[in-house]
Structure 1
Amino acid sequence: SPGNGTGKTRLAVCVANYILHEKRLPVLFKKARDLMLDIRRTFSDRGDMTEADILDKVLSVRLLVLDDVGVDPTSQWLRATYWTVFDRRLEWQLPIVITTNKPLEGEGGLSLGDFIGQGAVSRLIELCQGNVIDMFGPDLR
């Protein structure tokens, strides 16, 4: 949904807390930028974790919540990484919640697909079975 401070992250956290505390299922909440930085850090040989270690956790957790998807400048690597995450979670039928300020469709401006790739968006929409919540309103912060 376009706009800052409309409650997207708060709603995603509420969903995550419900799944974690009421359903007692594991949840991973991660800022999308932090996930990408964590993966990039593995490219140097200084870290304890490998790219596969991080992706394994992201791909296998019962509920993944990615906050602020599409904030980073796009690159081929970024698009491929999002495609992998969404494709595998779709294949394994594991749910995901994302928040973004980018529209799904280009409405005179840039869309989410311009940042993470149309293939990733297609898989995301299929994974979410079309359940998209648009949140509009003033900045509540």
Structure 2
Amino acid sequence: MTDQDIKNSISEKALEYGTPSEYSELFDNLPGEFQRRFKESSSERNFGLPIVKYGHPNGNWIIIGTKELAWKNDKLNFLPINLINRISVPDQERMRAIEIQPNRMIRKYEYEILRINTLHGDHYDIWLNKVTEYYGFWHMMIRYFRLIREC
């Protein structure tokens, strides 16, 4: 599967899961200056094609690429997607959601931090806007993992 095939498939799924929204956008629709700066920052990497950007009200964001993820918390970070073992909700995020929302049936809509676990045992916490972007990102990654298994 080519990078363009992956980009087309993930973009289609992103549109299905609410992109664009207040905090998400297809990379090709982002302002030209942001695209230029990001491409300069990732030029030394094997990032592939940037597909979709998910943000959070605190200014943090994550971009799914065809070969890597890039996220900005305090600094810009990169992780090859093929090193991801699983994604999960951190325990502290579950506890925070319990405090905010006592109704367990809707508690998951309070999640804002997602943990990316690697094959090497490392983990990285990323911020995503509640509900739409959080679950949109989760489903984009599920689609991505299915696509690479098919190759």
Q: Is TM-score (shorter-chain normalized) higher than 0.5?
A: no
Category of TM-score, reference length = shorter chain: 0.3 to 0.5
**Higher normalized contact order (CA 8 Å, seq sep 6+, divided by chain length):** 1
